[in-house]
Structure 1
Amino acid sequence: MALRRPLALIAGLFRELPVGDAVPVEAGGTGATTAAGARDALGVREKLTAPRTYYVRTDGNDGNTGLSNSSGGAFATIQKAIDVAASFDLNGFAVTIQIADGTYAEALVLRQAIGDGVIVIRGNLSAPANVVLNSVAGTSISTKHTVEGVSLSQGSAVIRLSSVRSDIAYGAVVFGSASYAHVAATAAGRTSAIGPVTIAGSAPAHVYAGTGGSAEMRSSAVTLTGTPMFATGFAHAQILGAVLADGNTFSGSGTGPRYAAALNGIVFVGGAGATYLPGSATGTLATGGQYA
């Protein structure tokens, strides 16, 4: 069987490339005559060969490339940077989204990428309160994400994951008030604290796991300011969800139940006592829930 020639997009139609011709890609061209344009026309992802950083600033512009930390080079929105980062074959590399100080009124939606890399959303590691975001959510994604150096203060859940293999790590994060849990993992999603956490606002729960999700907050330094309230429980697990919260150090105090576990949910504290988690009331167990 004879080999077919490569296909090329010619006059809007995919045709076999004539013998002796090359795909027209020009460094200074426009549209499909650039490498990026040709990839877009053919539906091909760029495959990274090194880590890459995109910059976001309040004085940026989403029409920029995002590749330089200046008003003429940076993006204006974090979502634009997330969308660009997710368009690659990560090829095992990290794409870092470096966010300048400021307030970004965005409800961020994480995207699916391919290539077993990680997308890092990074603010100010030494002063997380200087970078204020709305919320971060991911649904049906398997790409690993890291969120660090930011203050999250609005939305139904400021870090919420759902669906199979969703994975997000976070650290150096300030949590404000939320109408749902500060951190939630459901439907086999996974969250993990990898650095210090400050809780400055109330929520029904700080950390929640349900329907097979795993929310890990282990050996972390957790600071509570302003006595936040957790109406359901600081840690809440149900429907086969697991909150793993052993080895932490807590400073400050909160109010409300310390934990709530039901419907075969587990709050694991490594054998710490009933008063280990922040709160002012005894935790509750129901219908197979466990605290251990």
Structure 2
Amino acid sequence: MSDAIKLKVLPQFPSRLTGRAGIDVTKQSGEYFLDLDYNDFPVISAVPTGATYALIYNPATKQYAQLPIALLGGGLADAPNDGTLYGRKNLAWSAVPAGLADAPNDGSTYARRSAAWINVRNVLTADRNLFVNAATGSDANNGLTTGTAFATLQKAMDVIAATDNSIFNNVVTVANGTYAQLILKSYLGSGNVTFNGDNVTPGNVIITGSPALWAAAVNGGSFTFNGFRLQSSAGQDVNVGSYTLVTLNTCEWAGTSANYRIYVGNFGRLQIQGAHKVLTGGAGLLLAEISGFLYINGAAFTIGANVTYSSATATARTLGYISAFTTTFSLGAFVVTGQRYSAVTNSVISDTGSITLFPGTVAGSVLTGGQYT
């Protein structure tokens, strides 16, 4: 038996080692080292169309693995344009993929609807002051300072209605001038909304319209107006015809229409406090109807001109209610022509029984279940 032939081969390896994109090759003392070079990889702003996986490294197993792009958020589709807002603030999410970080807790709300980002409600963290100036303001301003005042009362109201007011109040300071009709709106929050005009000379801050101040579709909320002249040429000076509370302090009533100066109905509540001046007539000064509640307790009315009412100074009808305790009317040299009061159709006027409280040249009347107490 012959001995087997043995051959020992010593290959020269590597004869040549080349690194491609993303891999660097270095040689030290006959050894070759291969390293990833991240500078060779381009930076992209979006996941390319059709990409389904990304390569990740797990330091625990020291292995690379493929991860579906959708788990990284890059494959998320726009929310449907169905009228619903999709998003989350802090921990209150709609469904989102795992791995996405919480939005920062910085008071801002983060969300989007379809492909267009939207501004959702800002949240008040303290009382807010807004400013309106018909002469120098602009509705393109933010309204937060006298130098960046809005031009209209309606703009201030719209901003309040678009805010999550939380438990905080909004105070609107209104410069002297003439302003168009203000339509009150529902707002989110438990705070109050106050408009401040000129308490010393209310005639310096005029609101005009038909009606001048209108609460026709408000649900809840509390509004206060201090120091305004309210005047309408076709409707009431103020109309509270929905379920809200409006308080008026130190106002002038100067509308030229043949309607009532002050109206409340449809479960609205209107409070009149402080000193007021009546400058014109019409159908009447006060009207409460359809479960409207009018409180003029403690108010002081000064008649500033000869006025004529075609109906009555104070009218309550169709389940309306007027409360006038400790209220006064001062006529001076002027005369109020017309009926003092009218309570009809199961309505009530209360003033501790003083049938001469409301001014007029004709005695008041109670008909069809009305009461005057």
Indicate the TM-score class for this superposition, using the shorter chain for normalisation: 0.7 to 0.9
Give the Cα–Cα distance (whole angstroms) in 2 for the partners of residues 87 and 19 of structure 1. Answer: 33
Bigger mean CA deviation after superposition, 172-181 or 12-21: 12-21
Question: Scaled by the length of structure 1, what TM-score is found?
Answer: 0.85
Query: Residue 42 of structure 1: CA displacement?
Result: 6.2
Q: Amino acid of the residue matched to residue 343 of structure 2?
A: A
Q: Give the SS at the match of 1:92.
A: coil
Residue matched to 1:197: 276
Residue matched to 1:89: 164
Q: Deviations over 1:210-248 (max 9, x none)?
A: 011101111111111112222111110001100111211
Residue matched to 1:266: 348
Bigger mean CA deviation after superposition, 124-133 or 152-161: 152-161
Residue matched to 1:103: 178
Runs of 4+ in 1 over 3 A off after TM superposition: 10-15, 20-25, 34-44
The verdict on how the C-alpha distance between 1:243 and 1:22 changes in structure 2, with shifts beyond 3 A counting, is same
Q: Deviations over 1:7-35 (max 9, x none)?
A: 9xx8853573662445499x9xxxxxx94
Residue of 55, 71, 82 corresponding to 2:131? 55
Q: Amino acid of the residue matched to residue 285 of structure 1?
A: V
Residues 39, 45 of structure 1: 8 Å contact kept: no
Residues 109, 120 of structure 2: 8 Å contact kept: no
Q: Amino acid of the residue matched to residue 277 of structure 1?
A: F
Residue of 129, 132, 152 corresponding to 2:206? 132
Contiguous gaps of at least 5 residues in structure 2? 1-70, 80-85, 88-95
Give the Cα–Cα distance (whole angstroms) in 2 for the partners of residues 171 and 111 of structure 1. Answer: 20
Residues 140, 166 of structure 1: 8 Å contact kept: no
Q: Deviations over 1:50-88 (max 9, x none)?
A: 111111111210000001112xx0001110001111222
Residues 109, 121 of structure 2: 8 Å contact kept: no
Aligned pair 1:181/2:260, yes or no? yes
RMSD: 2.6
Q: Amino acid of the residue matched to residue 128 of structure 2?
A: R
Residue of 167, 175, 188 corresponding to 1:114? 188
Query: Residue 128 of structure 1: CA displacement?
Result: 0.7
The verdict on how the C-alpha distance between 1:36 and 1:256 changes in structure 2, with shifts beyond 3 A counting, is farther
Matched residue pairs, number?
273
Question: Scaled by the length of structure 2, what TM-score is found?
Answer: 0.68
Contiguous gaps of at least 5 residues in structure 1? 28-33
Q: Give the SS at the match of 2:336.
A: coil
Residues 103, 110 of structure 2: 8 Å contact kept: no
The verdict on how the C-alpha distance between 1:123 and 1:12 changes in structure 2, with shifts beyond 3 A counting, is farther
- Which of structures 1 and 2 has the larger relative contact order (alpha carbons within 8 angstroms, sep 6+)? 1
Query: Residue 139 of structure 1: CA displacement?
Result: 2.1
Give the Cα–Cα distance (whole angstroms) in 1 for the partners of residues 229 and 109 of structure 2. Answer: 35
Q: Give the SS at the match of 1:84.
A: helix
Give the Cα–Cα distance (whole angstroms) in 2 for the partners of residues 123 and 231 of structure 1. Answer: 31
Q: Give the SS at the match of 2:165.
A: coil
Give the Cα–Cα distance (whole angstroms) in 2 for the partners of residues 270 and 125 of structure 1. Answer: 29
Give the Cα–Cα distance (whole angstroms) in 1 for the partners of residues 217 and 152 of structure 2. Answer: 23
Give the Cα–Cα distance (whole angstroms) in 2 for the partners of residues 52 and 137 of structure 1. Answer: 23
Q: Give the SS at the match of 2:250.
A: strand
Aligned pair 1:246/2:322, yes or no? no
Residues 234, 279 of structure 1: 8 Å contact kept: yes
Q: Percent identity?
A: 27
Larger Rg: 2
Give the Cα–Cα distance (whole angstroms) in 2 for the partners of residues 228 and 39 of structure 1. Answer: 58
Residues 328, 357 of structure 2: 8 Å contact kept: no
